[in-house]
């Protein structure tokens, strides 16, 4: 039986039987509350089970763990704000018919001397049951959240909260060794500045002895890491502000940390919209990150927007569900909900496949996703449909999709509705692709543009495509000859032109 372990070692099943009764691909609404040292967040998941959408998402920076390292108790103002937030979340869940909420509490509640009293009061006054988990369990759930977003993740997951920092290994869809520490910024506020570097270094040395230093990539989970990444984007003028799957090199982090040190925090906050309580912790988090890189020596750091909350969902997924591609599952679900003719996308994909011999698995999945999504923006005004497609995909909450892949997919969908991209407002994002990738996206888009209007049922029953040297042959069946009108012919020739080949109709 799946479940999480609490600080007492008891195994609990927060979702009960509710999750296991879900259909194989659909996800009914499930609510999760994460009670952390700095923030308390309610997330309601909905949509495709393997790639859940955020139906509702609200965060309160309560600061439960502020000053706890000094007082040993939860912050009084944080307790007040925390109860207010949890009472609201319980009421929201009732209004959305989501009961019971799954509530997980981490470092602040588990370590404060008045944590058990807080836990009891929450249950008595709000009806919510807080599952207080230990540090290793926190590390495991965070790592599972990363696996939900990155099925092929391999490396070290580093989750920073207000009062703790956890590490966990991930590889081959599994979580390995894991460890917890007291490297949260709230705790570091109590360390004398002249001792801070040695203090951090000593703890990290102990963590490295337990976890090893042979990890090429570190996946960063937590608001403080996301704030640093957002500031890195600002420093380099990065054209996209989606944080999930944002990559940084150790050198980039070093330059951003130095850049942060040269600026006033209030000015940085105004530029990027980070909350005051979050920006206050950035200098301490920056010191931890700098030394983490120095000790573990990764080649790359990747931001994960998924953590404990998503890890709880992953906990209850079957192995079969875990092995599905999150991108394709999300695209299928979106097509089912929003396309005019659900199911046509796969037919379009199969019709167009002969145009793209030798596709890599990575490009093949992007092509399938594009075909599934090709008609999901049809309700947008025709003048803005192409840009809407691009914008929707590049900003969508989709997992297992790198930033260049987002732009490739968006550009293909833009060309599904529009022959050219001249003067596009999205042009700055095209810089994430090289010339060959831009051309390939255009070809895929124009192929969909032709195939989607050539036939509205199954284009393979009306015609077939064949690639020969220097030409594309369109072989028409009897029904296809009636369908091959002027517009279809024009779009077919436009596709061939973009491919640099001759188009022949037989």
pLDDT in tens, 162-194: 999 999 999 999 999 999 999 999 999 999 999
Non-local (6+) Cβ contacts of 231 within 8 A are: 256, 259, 260, 268, 272, 274, 282
Confidence band of 24 (pLDDT split at 50, 70, 90) = low
End-to-end CA distance of the chain: 60
Inform me whether the pLDDT recorded for 218 exceeds 60. yes
Q: Which residue matches tokens 């099925």? A: 151
pLDDT value for 2 = 60
pLDDT more than 90, % of the chain? 86
**H, E, C per residue of 291-358:** HHHHHHCCCEEEEECCCHHHHHHHHCCCHHHHCCCHHHHHHHHHHHHHCCCCCHHHHHHHHHHHHCCC
* Pairing relationship of beta strands 102-105 and 26-35 according to DSSP bridges: parallel
Average pLDDT for 362-373: 98
List alpha helices for 96-134, DSSP H: 107-111, 115-126
Average pLDDT for 382-401: 90
pLDDT value for 19 = 47
Q: Tell me the CB-side half-sphere exposure of residue 374, using CA atoms within 13 A.
A: 31
What 3-state DSSP class applies to 169?
Answer: strand
Non-local (6+) Cβ contacts of 428 within 8 A are: 239
Distance CA 367, CA 355 (A): 11
Among 426, 154, 10, 297, CA closest to 418: 426
Distance CA 9, CA 3 (A): 11
Average pLDDT for 73-101: 94
Inform me whether the pLDDT recorded for 17 exceeds 60. no
pLDDT in tens, 126-151: 999 999 999 999 999 999 999 999 99
* DSSP string for residues in 264-301: -HHHHHHHHT--HHHHTTHHHHHHHHHHHHHHH--SEE
pLDDT value for 369 = 98
Confidence band of 256 (pLDDT split at 50, 70, 90) = very high
Distance CA 433, CA 394 (A): 13
* DSSP string for residues in 469-502: TTEEEEEE-HHHHHH--HHHHHHHHHHHHHHTSE
Confidence band of 13 (pLDDT split at 50, 70, 90) = low
- The first and second tokens of residue 459, run together, are 């284009």
Among 183, 248, 180, CA closest to 211: 180
pLDDT in tens, 60-84: 999 999 999 999 999 999 999 999 9
pLDDT value for 18 = 46
**Phi, psi values for residue 372, rounded to 5°:** -65, -30
Beta bridge partners of residue 413, listed in sequence order: none
Inform me whether the pLDDT recorded for 458 exceeds 60. yes
pLDDT in tens, 298-313: 999 999 999 999 999 8
pLDDT in tens, 407-448: 999 999 999 999 999 888 899 999 999 999 999 999 999 999
Distance CA 459, CA 299 (A): 46
pLDDT value for 1 = 41
pLDDT more than 70, % of the chain? 96
Sign of the Cα torsion 305, 116, 70, 273 reads positive
pLDDT value for 3 = 66
Average pLDDT for 261-275: 94
**Phi, psi values for residue 476, rounded to 5°:** -95, 135
Among 327, 292, 343, 352, CA closest to 491: 352
Report the range of poorest mean pLDDT among 76-80, 266-270, 396-400: 396-400
Average pLDDT for 327-337: 95
Q: Which residue matches tokens 């980070």? A: 274
Q: Which residue matches tokens 């976890």? A: 211
Confidence band of 222 (pLDDT split at 50, 70, 90) = very high
**Phi, psi values for residue 401, rounded to 5°:** -145, 110
Confidence band of 316 (pLDDT split at 50, 70, 90) = confident
**Under a CB-based contact definition with an 8 Å cutoff, are residues 477 and 435 in contact?**
no
Distance CA 232, CA 229 (A): 5
What 3-state DSSP class applies to 244?
Answer: coil
Average pLDDT for 466-482: 94
List alpha helices for 374-434, DSSP H: 385-395, 403-417
**Under a CB-based contact definition with an 8 Å cutoff, are residues 214 and 169 in contact?**
no
**Under a CB-based contact definition with an 8 Å cutoff, are residues 57 and 81 in contact?**
no
Inform me whether the pLDDT recorded for 20 exceeds 90. no
């Amino acid at each position: 039986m799946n479940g999480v372990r609490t600080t007492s070692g008891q195994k609990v099943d927060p979702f009960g039987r509710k999750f296991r009764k879900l259909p194989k691909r659909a996800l009914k609404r499930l609510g999760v509350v994460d009670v952390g040292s700095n923030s308390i967040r309610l997330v309601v998941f909905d949509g495709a089970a393997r790639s859940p959408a955020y139906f509702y998402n609200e965060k309160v920076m309560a600061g439960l763990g502020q000053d706890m390292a000094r007082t040993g108790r939860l912050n009084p103002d944080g307790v007040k704000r925390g109860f207010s937030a949890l009472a609201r979340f319980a009421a929201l869940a009732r209004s959305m018919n989501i009961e019971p909420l799954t509530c997980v509490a981490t470092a602040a509640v588990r370590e404060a001397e008045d944590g058990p009293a807080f836990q009891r009061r929450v249950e008595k006054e709000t009806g919510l049951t807080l599952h207080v988990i230990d540090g290793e369990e926190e590390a495991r759930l965070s790592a599972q959240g990363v696996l939900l977003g990155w099925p092929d993740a391999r490396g070290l997951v580093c989750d920073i909260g207000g009062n703790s920092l956890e590490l966990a290994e991930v590889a081959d869809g599994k979580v390995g060794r894991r460890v917890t520490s007291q490297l949260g910024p709230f705790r570091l506020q109590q360390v004398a500045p002249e001792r801070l570097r040695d203090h951090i270094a000593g703890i990290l040395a102990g963590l490295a002895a337990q976890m090893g230093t042979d990890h090429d990539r570190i996946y960063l989970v937590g608001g403080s890491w996301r704030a640093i990444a957002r500031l890195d984007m600002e420093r380099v003028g990065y054209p996209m502000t989606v944080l999930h799957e944002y990559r940084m090199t150790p050198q980039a982090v070093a330059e951003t940390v130095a850049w942060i040190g040269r600026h006033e925090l209030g000015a940085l906050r105004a530029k990027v919209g980070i909350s005051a309580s979050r920006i206050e912790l950035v200098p301490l988090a920056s010191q931890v990150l700098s030394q983490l890189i120095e000790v573990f020596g990764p080649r790359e750091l990747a931001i994960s927007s998924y953590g404990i909350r998503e890890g709880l969902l992953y906990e209850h997924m079957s192995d079969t569900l875990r092995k599905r591609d999150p991108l394709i599952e999300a695209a299928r679900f979106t097509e089912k909900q929003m396309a005019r003719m659900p199911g046509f996308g796969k037919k379009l994909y199969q019709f167009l496949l002969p145009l793209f011999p030798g596709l890599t698995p990575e490009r093949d999945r992007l092509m399938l996703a594009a075909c599934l999504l090709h008609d999901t923006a049809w309700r947008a005004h025709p003048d803005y449909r192409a840009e809407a497609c691009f914008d929707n995909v590049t900003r969508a909450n989709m997992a297992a999709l790198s930033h260049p892949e987002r732009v490739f997919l968006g550009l293909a969908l833009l060309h599904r509705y529009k022959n050219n991209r001249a003067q596009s407002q999205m042009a700055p994002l095209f810089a994430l692709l090289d010339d060959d990738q831009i051309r390939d996206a255009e070809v895929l888009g124009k192929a969909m543009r032709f195939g989607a209007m050539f036939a509205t049922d199954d284009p393979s029953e009306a015609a077939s495509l064949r690639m020969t040297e220097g030409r594309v042959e369109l072989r028409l069946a009897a029904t296809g000859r009636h369908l091959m009108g002027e517009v279809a012919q024009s779009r077919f020739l436009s596709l061939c032109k973009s491919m640099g080949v001759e188009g022949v109709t037989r």
